[in-house]
Amino acid sequence: MNSRVLVCIPTYCESENIAHLIEEIFSLQIPGLEILIADDASPDNTAKIAENLRNRYPLISILKRKPPYGRGAAGRDLFLYALEKNFDAAIEMDADFSHDPKSIPQMLKALENSELVIGSRFIQGGSDTERPKGRQILTRWANFYARSLLRINVKDANSGYRAWSRKALQAIEPQSLRARGPAIVHEALFRAARKKIKIQEIPIRFVDRKMGFSKLNLGKLAYGYFWILRLAVLGK
């Protein structure tokens, strides 16, 4: 039986990336693969662009989200949809080509003998050398902070490029995920680790976005650090 895979993409103002990304993903010709986009009313028409592509690619769905907006809230909705529609696996990835779609087949292969696959910059063969030094250092530091506080034994705890088996998705109970911002990456991973989900990392080459702009800002960064601390202290 072919398994059904949902590629889950949160978007905010990704009009310059979304069409190209969808085309690249479908060009991989992975049987049973569908794409779901969770868009937070992007004023640049990201959702409309994706919708227009449905003529060519009927296996695209779009969640036009209502408030509360945010990367975390969108991520939660993506996971819930994957479970509700009975997908066997879900891949979460960013829309900006920092996560190379060409790694998807490898991630799915790795998922055959694990329950959660993380695309990792910090294992042998992985890299994060193209972004400005400041962003690289910020990521390294955040990774150190998250791994130490949450005591998660993975090399790249910040990676938002991951493949989830249905079992792992069920285990983390997405309906009760609470982080509204990017810290959902840590919240979901923390839950998976606690539930003893079998995690495997595979190397990825992480590159900087070429088009559009990063939505990370000081406020979201501070909130993310706070969230990790909160998770560590409360244990949930």
Summarize as ranges the residues that interact with Mg ion (CB under 5 A). 94, 96, 98
Where in 159-198 is the site for ligand GDP (CB under 6 A)? none
What is the number of the residue whose Cβ is closest to ligand GDP?
Answer: 214
Which one-letter amino acid corresponds to residue 3? S
Q: Which of ligand GDP, Mg ion, none is residue 10 near (CB under 5 to 8 Å by kind)?
A: ligand GDP
Which is closer to ligand GDP, CB of 65 or CB of 191?
A: 65
Nearest distance, CB of residue 201 and ligand GDP, angstroms = 19
- Judged by CB under 6 A, the residue of 19, 48, 59, 69 near ligand GDP is 69
Q: Does 12 bind ligand GDP (CB under 6 A)?
A: yes
Place of tokens 């569908």: 34
Closest separation in Å from C-beta 180 to ligand GDP: 9
| Selection from 156, 163, 158 nearest residue 8 by Cα | 163
Q: From Mg ion, ligand GDP, none, which one binds at residue 11 (CB under 5 to 8 Å depending on kind)? A: ligand GDP
Of 109-117, 121-129, 141-149, 210-218, the window that binds ligand GDP (rule: CB under 6 A) is 210-218
Q: Does 26 bind ligand GDP (CB under 6 A)?
A: no
What is the chain's length? Answer: 236
Q: How far apart are CA 85 and CA 60, in angstroms?
A: 13
Q: What is the C-alpha to C-alpha distance for residues 27 and 70, in angstroms, rounded to an integer?
A: 29
Name the residue nearer to Mg ion (CB basis): 96 or 201: 96
Q: Give CA–CA dist 122/177, Å, rounded.
A: 26
Query: What is the spatial distance between Cα 55 and Cα 50, in angstroms, rounded to a whole number?
Result: 10
Residue 230's CB is within 10 A of a number of other CB atoms, namely: 16
Please, which residue, 11 or 103, has the CB nearer to ligand GDP? 11
* Residue of 132, 148, 122, 151 lying closest to 216 (CA atoms): 132
